[in-house]
Amino acid sequence: MGLTKQYLAYRAVDSFNIIASGRANVNFAIYNRIQGRYFAAAAAENVILWDLRLGERVLTLRRDKQEVTALRVSPDRLHVAVGYVDGAVEIFDLSNPEESICSLALHKSAVSVLRYDDQGIRLITGSLDTDLVVVDTLEQAGRQRLIGHNAPITDAHFLERLAVDHIAVSSSKDTQIKFWNLETQFCFKTIVDNRTEVWALAFTGALMVAGCGESTMNVYRLTRKDSNDVKTNASANAIEGLSVDDDDTISPINVMNCGVIQRAGKGRCVNLIADPSERVLSCHGTNDLIENFYFCTKDEAKQRLAKRLKKARKAKQIKEPEEEEKEEDINDRNLSLSDEIKRLNSIKTRQKIKSLDILLGGQNELRILVSLANNSVQLYSMKTTSKDEDAKMLRSLNWQGHQSEVRSVCFSSDGLAIGSGSAESFKFWNRDSMQCLRSVSTDYILSCVFTPGDRYVLLGLKSGKLLIVDVGAADIVEEIPAHDQELWSIILLPDQKGCATGSSDCTVKLWTFELIDANIKEMDVDRVTPMANSRQVKVLSLLHKNTLKLEESVLCVQISPNMKYLAVGLLDSTVKVFFLDTFKFYLSLYGHKLPILCLDISYDSTLIATGSADRNVKIWGLDFGDCHRSLFAHDDSVMALQFIAKTHMFFTCGKDGKIKQWDADTFDKIITLPGHIGEAYGLAISSNGRYLITCGSDRTLRLFERTDEPIVLQDIQEEEREEMENEKLATGEDHGMALLPGLKLPSKKTVGSEKAAESILECLDVCKQYELEGEIKPTLHPLMKALDVKTTTDFLLITLARIRSSDLEEALLLLPFPMVCELLTRLPSLIEKRSDEIELIGKVTMFLFKIHMKPISGARHMKSLLQQIINLLTSEVNALRDCIGFNLHSLGLLQTEVEKREDIELFYEALQDKKKREKKRRQRETLKRQLIHMA
């Protein structure tokens, strides 16, 4: 076997430039016991915890490939639940963000809503696949799947305010609001009085507000139904001839439509957010207006009613004595919706709103966190008691990211700085810290490059202008009207004495660098005013040298390192090669079917690689113009291509979001790097080839670094093939139970559940083979040695315990019935020998009996086994319950005896210290709010 070529792997360092994705929501979070300062926001496939005061990201919650579509911070503010576009839900611990503590495969499509209950024990998730799933976060497994909506889920809540903990409420685009009984997994009430899609739900006390596709929001009053009311209503319905089994007879709550709230904004309602105290409700539509509403207490509503009636009497100028006597009775009447709801000042933002979150603090200060469509986040503050005072913007987080898609990137000559250009600005980044150093406001940028010395940057604009920007001063030095149309490409000459530009006006222009004198007025440091005297400095400028006119629009330009050839990619799908010194025609490279979007020439001027909108990359010889190989590179247009310095390897990126490395000598694809979510627009490689930066439509800049880890092409190809095979389930998507066609488990079949089922089957085969050997035991199976077990009972228990809680039910469901019977026959010995794992054993037993109850009960030989398992489980569960109860009451008795003997209260000092710390913390927070308000 001959020697193979060795390649070094590139690894993803991090992604930056993105502050908050528009697809997911933002949430306030408590970090380091500080509230109102930190918030969690989705950033493509990651979730970033931002510090509003410093404008920096504190930590990042990572998951590969899939985009975040929803997130929710738990009530204890210690965990964050994150939903992804593939239907998975991850739960992260903020104290240990490196890896998720729970991974759940619940839905078939993107997660649209996540909501915790008041204790943070249950989590309800809604998806675009029209299903709702209730998750037990302690058990880390789904409990119920609710099926009934006909369109994507838009919002969901637990209904715990009426002392009923088994009811959930959901809304959908099918215009319906459904109330679910979680114990029976059925819908017992449906509200269908909305004419358009219901987009959001919010609860404030006993009121439920529903935002729909109109400019009004429906308000419903929820009350708990007593048993006497149910009997009375049932009797009345029976007398009137209605069915006793009517919907109202089985519903534990009453829902009454008590009016509407008129919004000032037009269009549909996008988000409805209530603060944790449920006193303030904020909403926004598809525009840039945030509307706030204050929900009064009963006493405040009565005062508003009395004032309204008093004004009405003054207007009529009539006040009879009888009305004075009944004034007190008037206040006790049913209050109208206008008395209970008070409209607060609205907030007008400069950009379209994507999501928001609110927090009501001390002294009636309302803080509103707003995520905008231009990749920025703003924090507003307003008083709920003042009508005249407008909202004030406390913080604005926009420095750390472009406000539009990044179209061009470049590296400095030393590789320490990164430049990125978008539709509104050009930013300079530190490569190591990935922090923004400078920002320059410009027009739409299509290309950029650092000049020799890295003091200036050349920018090509969509208008055809060429800008020279001073890096240190972050100022535009000169604006040159270089072309009449889009300036698609700027490249430096290999001798570093000038540059070349290509534009849609069918011209290629050559420029030379020159230093010119510029007068700069000196500044008075104390007065910050210009002084009369000025000094002359040298600044960079460009001198037009020559122009090459062509018949088609120029999309890309490149000059060979030996300064001999000029290659131009044209709109007519060809590449024209000219002699650089005379502009004499040399070669025409044709073969692409669509326009050439990018090209590059190797360091030795022997190869030229071209990328086209036809998804192909062609490698040509520059000596004779022959095509060495045509590679099908991407699933969409190839947007950027660049050779690595001193090699024949190059990188490409395309509109399919992928980033690939190729070898131009062997024509092999080396590796595919984790790409962008959406389209990839550009890439740049540092001069030493160690770093790679890419930009895309997901507004992220992704940095990659070359490592010392060698890679083998055969291994990479095998891994990619296995990954593609793993994405396809061997047993199909549906649950394969012929006897239970309506089975709706709260989990989704995954590759992990299939592997878990295989491990159970292998374990049963190993146990059976090991026990058939007779008295002379053979050597332990390698799997038993690897798990460090010596008996088949321990081997089976460890195999079951190693399966994730979210995959356990799906794995047991995949077992064939004969293997289920064999597993059941081993359960009695497992219960007797390992009673310490009775919870896991009980869960497996109950699920198998629930799924296979009919064939088990129909088999005669299983009846004795069934009775034996029931008796053993009952005795073990009772023993465990008695042990827990005995320990609990024993500890209580010991505590009472110690308190009597010592005449003290246990943990008194610890409780007092905790109260003191809480009091000091509240005082500090109150002082901070006062200082912020004063500032």
pLDDT band at 232 (very low <50, low <70, confident <90, very high): very low
Residue 322 has pLDDT above 50, yes or no: no
- Residues of the chain above pLDDT 70, percent: 88
pLDDT band at 245 (very low <50, low <70, confident <90, very high): very low
Answer whether 106's CB lies under 8 Å from 127's CB: yes
What integer is the mean pLDDT of 269-282? 90
Contacts of 130 (CB under 8 A, 6+ apart): 147, 149, 150, 151, 152, 153, 172
Query: What pLDDT, on the 0 to 100 scale, is given for residue 276?
Result: 87
Query: What pLDDT, on the 0 to 100 scale, is given for residue 527?
Result: 44
Bridge partners for 81 per DSSP: 72, 91
pLDDT band at 839 (very low <50, low <70, confident <90, very high): confident
What integer is the mean pLDDT of 30-36? 84
Better-predicted residue by pLDDT, 233 or 283? 283
Which strand (E) or helix (H) includes residue 308? helix 298-316
What integer is the mean pLDDT of 300-312? 81
Render the burial of 331-365: b for 16+ CB within 10 Å, e for the rest: eeeebeeebbbbebbbbebebebbbbbbbbbeeeb
Query: What pLDDT, on the 0 to 100 scale, is given for residue 732?
Result: 63
The side-by-side arrangement of strands in the sheet containing 131-136 is 111-116, 122-127, 131-136, 141-147
126-135, 345-354, 523-532, 617-626: segment of lowest average pLDDT: 523-532
What integer is the mean pLDDT of 774-790? 75
Contacts of 88 (CB under 8 A, 6+ apart): 66, 103, 104, 105, 106, 107, 111
Query: What pLDDT, on the 0 to 100 scale, is given for residue 534?
Result: 61
The per-residue pLDDT for range 614-669, each reduced to its tens digit, is: 999 999 999 888 999 999 999 999 999 999 999 999 999 999 999 999 999 999 99
Query: What pLDDT, on the 0 to 100 scale, is given for residue 238?
Result: 41
Q: From start to end of 298-424, where are the E strands?
A: 341-343, 347-348, 353-360, 365-372, 376-383, 392-397, 408-411, 417-421
Residue 416 has pLDDT above 80, yes or no: yes
What integer is the mean pLDDT of 67-74? 93
Q: Minimal CA–CA distance to 575: which of 564, 558, 561?
A: 558
Q: DSSP secondary-structure letter at 644?
A: P
310-319, 675-684, 835-844, 882-891: segment of lowest average pLDDT: 310-319
Answer whether 487's CB lies under 8 Å from 554's CB: no
The per-residue pLDDT for range 188-214, each reduced to its tens digit, is: 999 988 889 999 999 988 899 999 988
What integer is the mean pLDDT of 357-370? 88
The per-residue pLDDT for range 535-578, each reduced to its tens digit, is: 677 888 999 999 999 999 999 999 999 999 999 999 999 999 99
Dihedral angle computed from the Cα positions of residues 846, 849, 851 and 853, in that order, rounded to the nearest 10 degrees: -150
User: Computed from CA positions of residues 687, 691, 696, 701, in that sequence, does the dihedral angle turn out positive or negative?
Assistant: negative
pTM for this model (two decimals): 0.84
The per-residue pLDDT for range 514-525, each reduced to its tens digit, is: 988 876 555 444
Residue 509 has pLDDT above 50, yes or no: yes
Which strand (E) or helix (H) includes residue 737? none
Residue 361 has pLDDT above 50, yes or no: yes
What does each C-alpha distance from 314 to 249, 310, 915 come to in angstroms? 47, 6, 52
Better-predicted residue by pLDDT, 919 or 154? 154
Q: Phi-psi category of 329—alpha, beta or left, where left has phi over 0 and alpha has psi -120 to 50?
A: alpha
Structure tokens at 155: 């919002």
Residue 170 has pLDDT above 80, yes or no: yes
Burial group, residue 248, by CB count within 10 angstroms (0-12, 13-18, 19+): middle
Residue 705 has pLDDT above 90, yes or no: yes
581-595, 654-668, 796-810: segment of lowest average pLDDT: 796-810
Query: What pLDDT, on the 0 to 100 scale, is given for residue 739?
Result: 53
Distance separating alpha carbons of residues 310 and 106, to the nearest angstrom: 57
Residue type, 138: L
Residue 822 has pLDDT above 90, yes or no: no
Mean pLDDT of the chain: 85
SS3 of residue 16 by DSSP: strand
Query: What pLDDT, on the 0 to 100 scale, is given for residue 764?
Result: 87
Give the Cα-Cα-Cα angle 35, 38, 43 (nearest 5 degrees): 150
Cα 295 → chain centroid: 32
Query: What pLDDT, on the 0 to 100 scale, is given for residue 908?
Result: 64
Distance separating alpha carbons of residues 871 and 827, to the nearest angstrom: 12
439-448, 449-458, 823-832, 904-913: segment of lowest average pLDDT: 904-913
129-138, 593-602, 903-912: segment of lowest average pLDDT: 903-912
Better-predicted residue by pLDDT, 157 or 770? 157
Query: What pLDDT, on the 0 to 100 scale, is given for residue 242?
Result: 36
pLDDT band at 806 (very low <50, low <70, confident <90, very high): confident
Q: DSSP secondary-structure letter at 862?
A: G
Phi, psi of 171 (to 5 degrees): -130, 155
Q: Minimal CA–CA distance to 748: which of 158, 170, 127, 70?
A: 127
